Structure 1
Amino acid sequence: MSAVLRPLRWWDVEALLPVEAELFGASAWSGELFWSELAAPGRTYLLAEDDRGTLLGYAGLALAGPDADVQTLAVAPAAQRRGVGGLLLDALVTAARAGGASAVLLEVRADNEPARALYAARGFERIGVRRRYYQPEDVDALVLRLRLSGSPGRS
């Protein structure tokens, strides 16, 4: 699948909300939360589209100090298992490196096997568990970390 990445802008939020609701259910972000994230300092948000402008996925990163945190990563159901998640994740890791981060952290639902496989394939390691983190579903979050080497300004 051919996907093009570009910065996510506030006017894109309305189009991604149905995908957000379908993928994350009761845990889905609101439009207001997306807009707040886009306005916050140290954020990188990306949108993946096909050559017709169809939304394939989106992802966001918060950079603060030596750590970068993946805030969200979502792939539209019709685009799953076609490399879009990997493309978005790789772009976030590149942004973290460019921002001088020494590690990328994220939480993933313990029951999300495809996402866990993607993160493992990219070298993320489990460093903790947040019990019953995802509510109201009572699903644990696995805390994962990718150590970065060769980040600018870091030894």
Structure 2
Amino acid sequence: MRLDDLDEVMEIERAVFPMPWSLSSYRYELTQNDKGYYLVARLKGEKAEGLLLGYGGFWLVQDEAHICTLAVRPGWRRKGLGELILISLLDWAVALGANVATLEVRISNRPAQKLYSKYGFKIVGRRKRYYANQEDALIMTAYGLTSPPFQG
């Protein structure tokens, strides 16, 4: 992700999250957070060449990658793009030395929970009233990212 991606990132952010990150938060992440890693997925081909379809990011602290955001443009969901972004984030985190990944997910976001479970994430806790609208978050963690089941 680059600064010139942020207009499209914010368009998706506002469309998919009830409480989106701010533009200044993303600017900070890209320019000042040396523990933050972000990527974007863009469309290839003739139709809408270069359209930003999704993005994701994580913070790396020692051997733990905390996935802090993952979003797919409305109209492009349920096509496997979120899964590809998740896999890319995990691969990148492992390449940087991560062996554990964590994230929070809205208790109401069953499709995301199902995707994360597919990749070894287990529910390890709950954050009460975590989101600004007072919705709880599930804490999910995947251990052993460098073990054979993850690398196979």
TM-score if structure 1 supplies the norm length? Answer: 0.88
Equivalence for 1:3: none
Deviation, 1:122, is 1.0
Runs of 4+ with >2 A deviation: 148-151
What RMSD over aligned residues (CA atoms) do the two structures have, in Å?
A: 1.2
Q: Which letter maps to 1:146?
A: A
Going from structure 1 to structure 2, the CA distance change for 1:29 and 1:102 (only over 3 Å counts) comes to: same
Residue 139 of structure 1 aligns to a residue whose secondary structure is coil
Larger strand proportion of the pair: 1
Query: Partners of 1:149 and 1:114 in 2: how far apart?
Result: 22
> Aligned-pair distance for 1:92?
0.7
The question of whether the paired residues in 1 share the 8 Å contact of 2:58 and 2:66 is answered with yes
Shift of 1:24: 0.9
Is 1:146 matched with 2:139? no
1:133 aligns with 2:125: no
Q: Tell me the equivalent position of 1:17.
A: 10
Show the counterpart of 1:31: 23
Task: State the 1:149 CA deviation.
Answer: 4.1
- Asked if the contact 1:97–1:148 (Cα under 8 Å) also holds between the matched residues in 2, the reply is no
Q: C-alpha deviations, 1:71-117, integer Å up to 9, x for none?
A: 10001111100011010100111111111112000000000011111
Deviations 1:53-86 (A, max 9, x none): 1111000011011211001000111110001101
Where in structure 1 are there 5+ consecutive unaligned residues?
1-7
Match of 2:42 among 49, 55, 61: 49
Number of residue equivalences: 142
Post-superposition CA distance 1:115-148 (Å, at most 9, x none): 111101111001110011011x211100000112
The Cα shift of 1:37 comes to 0.9
Aligned equivalents of 1:45, 1:150: Cα separation in 2: 21
**TM-score, structure 2 normalization:** 0.89
CA contact (8 A) 1:127 1:145 kept: yes
> Aligned residues: percent identity?
38
Number of the residue aligned with 2:69: 72
CA contact (8 A) 2:101 2:145 kept: no
Query: Is the Cα–Cα contact under 8 Å of residues 65 and 102 in structure 2 kept in the other structure?
Result: yes
Tell me the amino acid that sits aligned with residue 86 of structure 1: E
